[in-house]
Amino acid sequence: MTTDSDMTISVFASASRLSLKALRLYDELGLLPPERVDPDSGYRYYRARQLPQARLIGLLRQLGLSLADVRAVLDAPAAQQPDLVWNHWTRAETRHVQQRELARYVLRSLKGDPSMTQHFDVQQRFVPAQQVVTVSRRLRVDELPGFIKQQLLALTRQVTQAGAAVLGAPFVVFHGQVNDDNDGPVEVCVPYSGPLKPVGGLTLREEPAHHEAYVTLTRAQFDFPGILEAYDATCAYAAAHGQGGPLSPREVYPHDWDRLDDTDPVGDVAWPFVPQPG
């Protein structure tokens, strides 16, 4: 028999404003198991003291937290839970700003409005052939910043530990787009000279000599989707002064990113091309 404090799943659903489907899912995931389950009938019974957690789960889901993020909040000590929710909201606001700017970029393209590429000082340069140590990966867009930072540090450390020397600015080659539908691949490259062996998944190769159109950006300008304008500008310059070649566009990082402010120049977006003869 049930006690007076027991609540059937239907009563609990009404009190918590959660659906029966949601309550069953949260039970299966261990987020909100019932107080007890009748061994004969399989009926779920809840208690009133579970209502605050049920309502919290509902609110967190309305905020857009994934079920995994909800679990992280529930499992965290009470003192840490507000910070976890705030961090999620900060990331959500950042994504919203990015989506708004991306929408403006798409709308300008659809309307045929003048491109923002005219605001960039695009130049060209000749890059001699260079030996590079590289690592490539197919990854999601949210994995990209961490992967680049981690691999630049790791490759530089492996070069120096092997007794070789970093020779030139590191760069990242985008052999394909990285977004919700495309995963690159992305290749992190560190130029070097001296003895080095291709161990631990590393690749040693020669980056061919080439011309490239490039534009130098501040740290703030590297933010997506604003950086798309820089790619458009370098691509347009390359098309106007030559033709495409076998090399993919890249980002060049000659400076220590973490030591610079948003208004400081930190690197280049570059588009390799074959110059027109003559």
Top-confidence residue, 88 or 106: 88
Q: What average pLDDT score do residues 122-145 get?
A: 94
Q: What average pLDDT score do residues 134-139 get?
A: 94
Position 117 confidence tier, pLDDT thresholds 50, 70, 90: low
Position 277 confidence tier, pLDDT thresholds 50, 70, 90: confident
CB 273 within 8 A of CB 213: yes
Task: Give the tokens for residue 108.
Answer: 């300008």
The pLDDT of residue 113 is above 60? yes
Residues forming a β-bridge with 8? 45
Q: What average pLDDT score do residues 91-106 get?
A: 82
Q: State residue 212's pLDDT score.
A: 97
Q: State residue 270's pLDDT score.
A: 97
The answer for residues whose C-beta is within 8 angstroms of residue 30's C-beta and 6 or more apart is 71
Residue written as token pair 């787009």? 177
DSSP states of 206-251 as a string? Answer: EEPPEEEEEEEEETGGGSTTTHHHHHHHHHHHHHHHEE--SPPPEE
45-75 pLDDT, tens digit per residue, is 999 999 999 999 999 999 999 999 999 999 9
The one-letter code for the residue type at 186 is V
Q: State residue 98's pLDDT score.
A: 75
Residues forming a β-bridge with 93? none
> Measured between alpha carbons, how far is 238 from 115 in angstroms, rounded to an integer?
16
Residue written as token pair 């700003």? 97
Q: State residue 120's pLDDT score.
A: 86
Q: State residue 116's pLDDT score.
A: 55
Q: State residue 114's pLDDT score.
A: 60
b/e map of 136-160 (b: 16 or more CB within 10 Å)? Answer: bbebeeeebeebbeebbeebeebbe
Position 2 confidence tier, pLDDT thresholds 50, 70, 90: very low
Q: What average pLDDT score do residues 17-44 get?
A: 92
Q: What average pLDDT score do residues 42-47 get?
A: 92
pTM above 0.75, yes or no: no
Mean pLDDT of the chain: 90
Among 145-154, 176-185, 229-238, name the one with the lowest average pLDDT. Answer: 176-185
111: exposed, middle or buried (Cβ count in 10 Å: 0-12, 13-18, 19+): exposed
Q: State residue 1's pLDDT score.
A: 42
Q: State residue 23's pLDDT score.
A: 94
Position 97 confidence tier, pLDDT thresholds 50, 70, 90: confident
Top-confidence residue, 58 or 112: 58
The pLDDT of residue 115 is above 70? no
